[in-house]
Amino acid sequence: MAQRTRRNGRPASLNGRTAVVTGAASGIGRALAQRLAAHGSPVAICDWDEDGLQETAASIPGPVFARKLDVSDRQAQLQFAAAVQEWAPAPIGLAVNNAGVTVSQTAAEAAVEDDEWVVTVNFWGVVHGTRAFLPILLANGSGAIVNVSSVFGLMGFPTQSAYCASKFAVRGYTESLRHELRGSDVRAITVHPGGIRTNIVRNARFHVDDTGNTDHEKLVQEFAKNARTSPAKAAKTIHAGVENGKQRILIGPDAVAISLVTRIAPVRYFDVIERVMAAARR
Ligand SMILES: NC(=O)c1ccc[n+]([C@@H]2O[C@H](COP(=O)([O-])OP(=O)(O)OC[C@H]3O[C@@H](n4cnc5c(N)ncnc54)[C@H](O)[C@@H]3O)[C@@H](O)[C@H]2O)c1
């Protein structure tokens, strides 16, 4: 099943191959499932939010396989992979480990249960998804594992210590895998979105934000105002990045700027970022 032909150094297109997207009941995952389906891929989607998942499935006119699961459940991910393989009308070419959650609390005050929740879903969910689908892609001879990190996988941020830790971990895991896969036609791709207008902040376990605000709804409104990129635009950037052979996909001008400033000033970057954020709030 290998599709090794490359034109202009680009990998063979994955359009039309079966695509798997976790966390597809909302936000980036939903938009990506819709976009991949619109480009001819049968899609297999999962989420722990069954109602949202069914809404996504109903919005997709082509072949779709939907399963309620918790990505931090290793056995459930393995069973999902087996079921997708049995269902798939076309060979599996893409597995996007996208599901994620966050908690907003200082490191000093954070409850261990909240920190464990974030790391278990964001990091172990990605590891379980990778372990479930990588052997299938390797057996098929080509494809891509796409793991969603964040700009918080590029920089630390106050009240996001567990989230940042989980997203740095996703980056380290995926970059290591990328190097292991050199010489094969299976790729490991990291995605670093900036602010995307999704439900991520509304779905957060919220205690306090970086300004000292303890009103969750206030942060939800501020995030909706400041997050520059729509989920559809994020999905388009991920899809184009995968098709163009990118190994690291930055989403939005904020992500590009953060990537730059953390490399130019690896210790002092937050001084710059804080000033930009304060100016944006005025
Ligand atoms: N929105 C942003 O600004 C932003 C920025 C950087 C990174 N990200 C990352 O993008 C990814 C998608 O998030 P989003 O912004 O679309 O948020 P979202 O809350 O709209 O969507 C996340 C989806 O993941 C699902 N999910 C959460 N935990 C799960 C679990 N244990 N098992 C199965 N499904 C689970 C949720 O039910 C939801 O449908 C996440 O990994 C997030 O960390 C988002």
Which residue from 173, 196, 238, 254 has its CB within 8 A of the most atoms of ligand 1, so it is best to mutate? 196
Ligand 1: distance of its center to the CA of 31 in Å?
12
- How high is the mean pLDDT of the chain? 96
Residue type (1 letter), 10: R
Q: Is the pLDDT of residue 37 over 70?
A: yes
Q: What pLDDT, on the 0 to 100 scale, is given for residue 9? A: 72
Note the pLDDT tens digit of each residue in 87-104: 999 999 999 999 999 999
Lowest-pLDDT range, 42-46, 80-84, 166-170, 270-274? 270-274
* Among protein residues, the one whose CA lies closest to atom 23 of ligand 1: 23
Average pLDDT value for residue range 202-207: 97
Ligand 1: distance of its center to the CA of 261 in Å?
25
* Among protein residues, the one whose CA lies closest to atom 30 of ligand 1: 70
Q: Residue length, the chain?
A: 282
Ligand 1: distance of its center to the CA of 62 in Å?
24
What residues contact 115, with CB distance under 8 A and at least 6 apart? Answer: 103, 161, 162
Q: Which residues are part of the catalytic machinery?
A: 163
Q: Is the pLDDT of residue 130 over 60?
A: yes
Q: Can you tell me the distance from the alpha carbon of 88 to that of 64, in angstroms, rounded to the nearest whole number?
A: 9
Q: What pLDDT, on the 0 to 100 scale, is given for residue 124? A: 98
Q: Can you tell me the distance from the alpha carbon of 187 to that of 81, in angstroms, rounded to the nearest whole number?
A: 18
Note the pLDDT tens digit of each residue in 171-198: 999 999 999 999 999 999 999 999 999 9
Q: Is the pLDDT of residue 2 over 50?
A: no
Ligand 1: distance of its center to the CA of 170 in Å?
14
CATH topology of domain 18-254: Rossmann fold (3.40.50)
Q: Is the pLDDT of residue 4 over 80?
A: no
Which residue from 51, 74, 101 has its CB within 8 A of the most atoms of ligand 1, so it is best to mutate? 101
Note the pLDDT tens digit of each residue in 48-78: 999 999 999 999 999 999 999 999 999 999 9
Domains of the chain, by residue range, sit at: 18-254
Which residues share a beta bridge with 192?
250
Q: What pLDDT, on the 0 to 100 scale, is given for residue 1? A: 42
Distances (CA, A) of 49 to 25, 108, 256: 6, 31, 31
